Structure formats: C-alpha cells, structure tokens
Amino acid sequence: MPIGKHGIKSKSVFLWLTGLSGIVKSTLAHAVEENLHRVGVTSYVVDGNNARHGLCSDLGFCDPDRVENIRRVGEIAKLNIEAGIITLTVFISPFKSDRDDARKQMPHGDFLEIYCQCPIEACEQCAM
C-alpha cells in the first residue's frame, strides 16, 4: 500500500466518474487529483481529452468505437492499479455493459463507479 509524503496510506483504486456531458466531471476529478497530490498520493486522471488524443486517436464516436475506447481506458486503469496509482476516469460511458466489463478486470472492491448527476438545464448552460 503506497504511503504519501504525510504518512497517509493509500490503496490504489479505479474511480469511474460518469454522467451527462457538461456536469463538470473532469473539473471534479482534477480537483480530487490535486488534493491527492497535495498529500503525496499518486493519482492520474484519464478523460476523453487525453485518451482520444493518444491512446484512442484511431477511434470515432460510433457505438463499436465507444466500446473499444472504454475497454482501452479500463486496461490503462488496471495497469495503474498494479503500479499503485489511484486512477480517476471521466467518461459519459453510456453503456452499462462497458462499465461492468471494466469492473470485472479489477480486483474486488477496486472499481468505484461514481454517477455525477446534475439537472439537464444546468448541463445545457455549461455547454453554451
């Protein structure tokens, strides 16, 4: 179990933030990451921006490509857990089966799905 600079023990886990577009999932994930780094805990955020510009740059937005995108992100998270890194992923991930497949790759209890909910009106305002 990794120990941060303040003596805080941390268990590497996979935090999957999901929900509609425009509800500041990435902002939330990066704030959590910043606070973890502040206390010396290693973490990393994988979101649509960094995944789609590199690892998944060959994929589009049709259903099969979305499935493959999420599969690859799950593989990255699995490697990070093995390395002792807390991984926060931020994806709309509309298919429950994809999230379930990612969950199955992780040791029991290492996958935490966080559904970020916000009124649709607020999401529409953020998207403007």
| Catalytically annotated residues | 93
Distance CA 56, CA 90 (A): 14
Q: Find out whether 86 and 15 touch, Cβ atoms under 8 Å.
A: yes
Partners of 111 in beta bridges? 14
Structure tokens at 33: 């990451």
